[in-house]
């Protein structure tokens, strides 16, 4: 599956309020992962928008007791020691949490927290916790690079902007699996096997990835679930002195926020869930939905591309479907004969890395020009550097060949949260026709990617479930109609489950909606955060 994490560029190139920091193009993309590394990611649903399946119809997340267990009182009562860190104006601290909430005395995990205090003017409203998604995205990095300086000035004036890296992520005792060189090999593995030998190679890659995680992080892998991270969020709320949680979660961050609401409905303040996930869906249904979502996004890109003179997928009059066939043919050429990519470590551009590069650009239409240029160079000049750069940004691989732990944490969380979509190659092979029908361009690779969790060294602790959060304050769910990574039906599904939710719709392209160029979306969310006024029922923005 692919990572679910919010991109940062604005749709129109305009900031929400103040200028955004400069960054490497697409650096923040992936939220999902890539065909291999993000395989564990949840994917989704049906085009009908129906979210509940027979197996989950009677399963709803139960709220925890409203009183704090005595064994957790020391954690809830701890005092954070703040220090200056990173970007000027930000503070950092370390919060302790029990590694195992069922056995708090068995050991601690240390979680990295950062904040930027409210700037004023106006009365302080408390803390605003932010999470960019993933799973595996660094919330602290997101806060310091963007949210703490790029969120609307009126929001930053009234709230302390706060982030915590989830357990197993970035600065919070990160899950580790493979070395940089091992990851290079892993990300280049053929994800569309043509025969039994290539299928065995793909399975071996999944097994080696899983074994690496099990060897390097054996205890941690059992305690990085979304439920445990949501409980960490409640502890942070208490430690910060807030009676209610105010939160903006994007992409996978919506699953975190919804899980929090289900566990602690009486502690819900103002929750914005942008680019929403549907917790009632199985890993298989999630994969299907994301497959359809990326196909929808590609169709939008292709229609735009063929209308331009520099489109490498076909000229004016070429259909989007034909553009997809042309791209698929190019992927097949790369499968047979990778091309040079100008890489210092000797990597060439094969089908797997090229597919990841294209997927990366589907998260934000602001990247479409970059993708056209990269495809032109690769298809016409046999220069794969542009697509390799897009792929590297998605994997969070730096110029020295080091990878952030995004993909490791992504698999660890997803494989713990849900049973695997597939557990054997023959199961994938049987379903290939349906996946390829959903997406002729990406379906085959996404189907095989869903096999990853089948070899995970830790059994899943979660299952699909509805989240109702009865008694919670009004919650704002946001969905984008042509979102590739968290398809719009997921937002419809989550909004229909949460007892107090209102659905706000962005009619457009790209992953997530807040702060990406729509004044209608931004003003509606800002009003909710500042005044507690949710969107009107059925509100749609474009």
Q: What is the pLDDT at residue 44?
A: 27
Per residue in 467-505, pLDDT tens? 999 999 999 999 999 999 999 999 999 999 999 999 999
Q: E strands along 182-260, which residues?
A: 245-250
Nearest to 233 by CA among 158, 136, 139, 104: 139
Q: How confident is the model at residue 86 (pLDDT cuts 50, 70, 90)?
A: confident
Per residue in 341-385, pLDDT tens? 999 999 999 999 999 999 999 999 999 999 999 999 999 999 999
Is a pLDDT exceeding 50 seen at residue 149? yes
Active-site pick, 483, 500, 509, 522: 483
Decide if 445 contacts 199 (C-beta within 8 A): no
Is a pLDDT exceeding 60 seen at residue 19? no
Question: Catalytic site residue 251?
Answer: yes
46-70 average pLDDT score: 65
Question: Catalytic site residue 483?
Answer: yes
Q: What is the pLDDT at residue 361?
A: 96
**CATH homologous superfamily of 1-542:** Alpha/Beta hydrolase fold, catalytic domain (3.40.50.1820)
Active-site pick, 44, 127, 225, 251: 251
Per residue in 432-453, pLDDT tens? 999 999 999 999 999 999 999 9
Provide the residue ranges of all domains of the chain, joining segments of one domain with +: 1-542
514-521 average pLDDT score: 95
Per residue in 280-336, pLDDT tens? 999 999 999 999 999 999 999 999 999 999 999 999 999 999 999 999 999 999 999
Across the beta sheet with 245-250, the strand order is 83-84, 91-98, 108-116, 159-164, 126-131, 245-250, 268-274, 475-482, 501-509, 540-541
Hey, which residues does 476 pair with through a beta bridge? 272, 502
Backbone angles phi, psi at 112, to 5 degrees: -85, 130
Hey, which residues does 4 pair with through a beta bridge? 134
Per residue in 209-268, pLDDT tens? 999 999 999 999 999 999 999 999 999 999 999 999 999 999 999 999 999 999 999 999
- Interatomic CA distance for residues 362 and 452, integer angstroms: 22
**Strand, coil or helix: 127:** strand
Is a pLDDT exceeding 60 seen at residue 24? no
131-140 average pLDDT score: 96
Nearest to 453 by CA among 257, 290, 283: 283
Q: What is the pLDDT at residue 219?
A: 93
Question: Catalytic site residue 100?
Answer: no
Hey, which residues does 112 pair with through a beta bridge? 94
Q: What is the pLDDT at residue 5?
A: 57
Active-site pick, 138, 278, 509, 511: 511
Decide if 407 contacts 414 (C-beta within 8 A): no
Nearest to 247 by CA among 114, 132, 98, 417: 132
The whole-chain average pLDDT of the chain stands at 90
């Amino acid at each position: 599956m692919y990572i679910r994490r919010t991109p940062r560029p604005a749709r129109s190139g305009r900031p929400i309020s103040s200028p955004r920091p400069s960054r490497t193009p697409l650096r923040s993309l992936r939220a999902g992962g890539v065909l291999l590394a993000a395989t564990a990611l949840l994917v989704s649903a049906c085009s009908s928008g129906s979210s509940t399946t027979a197996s989950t119809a009677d399963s709803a997340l139960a709220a925890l007791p409203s009183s704090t267990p005595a064994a957790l009182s020391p954690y809830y009562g701890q005092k954070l020691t703040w220090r200056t860190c990173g970007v000027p104006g930000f503070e950092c601290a370390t919060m302790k949490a029990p590694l195992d909430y069922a056995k708090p005395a068995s050991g601690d995990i240390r979680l990295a927290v950062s904040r930027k205090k409210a700037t004023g003017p106006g009365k302080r409203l408390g803390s605003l916790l932010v999470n960019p998604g993933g799973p595996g995205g660094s919330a602290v990095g997101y806060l310091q690079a963007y949210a703490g300086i790029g969120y609307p000035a009126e929001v930053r004036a009234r709230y302390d902007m706060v982030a915590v890296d989830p357990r197993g992520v970035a600065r919070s005792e990160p899950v580790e699996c493979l070395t940089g060189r091992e990851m290079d090999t892993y990300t280049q593995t053929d994800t569309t096997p043509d025969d039994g030998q290539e299928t065995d190679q793909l399975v071996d890659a999944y097994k080696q990835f899983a074994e690496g995680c099990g060897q390097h992080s054996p205890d941690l892998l059992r305690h990085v679930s979304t439920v445990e991270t949501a409980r960490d969020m409640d502890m942070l709320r208490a430690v910060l002195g807030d009676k209610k949680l105010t939160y903006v979660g994007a992409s996978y961050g919506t699953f975190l926020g919804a899980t929090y609401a289900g566990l602690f409905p009486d502690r819900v303040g103002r929750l914005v869930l942008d680019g929403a996930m549907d917790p009632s869906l199985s890993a298989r249904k999630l994969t299907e939905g994301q497959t359809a979502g990326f196909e929808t996004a590609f169709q939008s890109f292709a229609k735009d591309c063929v209308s331009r003179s520099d489109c490498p997928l076909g000229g004016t009059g070429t259909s989007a479907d034909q553009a997809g066939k042309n791209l698929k043919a190019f992927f097949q050429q790369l499968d047979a004969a990778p091309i040079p990519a100008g890489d210092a470590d000797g990597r060439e551009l094969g089908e797997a890395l090229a597919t990841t590069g294209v997927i990366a650009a589907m998260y934000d239409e602001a990247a479409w020009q970059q993708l056209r240029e990269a495809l032109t160079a690769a298809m016409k000049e046999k220069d794969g550097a542009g697509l390799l750069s897009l792929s590297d940004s998605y994997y969070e691989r730096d110029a020295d060949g080091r990878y952030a732990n995004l993909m490791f944490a992504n698999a660890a969380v997803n494989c713990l949260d849900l049973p695997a979509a597939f557990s054997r190659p023959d199961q994938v092979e049987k379903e290939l026709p349906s996946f390829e029908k959903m997406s002729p361009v990406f379906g085959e690779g996404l189907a095989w990617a869903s096999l990853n969790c089948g070899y995970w060294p830790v059994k899943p602790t979660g299952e699909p479930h509805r989240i109702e959060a009865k008694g919670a304050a009004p919650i704002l769910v946001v969905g984008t109609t042509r979102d590739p990574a968290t398809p719009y039906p997921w937002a419809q599904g989550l909004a229909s489950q949460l007892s107090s939710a209102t659905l706000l719709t962005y009619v457009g392209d790209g992953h997530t909606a807040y702060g990406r160029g729509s004044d209608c979306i931004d003003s509606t969310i800002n009003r909710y955060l500042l005044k507690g006024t949710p969107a009107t029922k059925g509100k749609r923005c474009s």
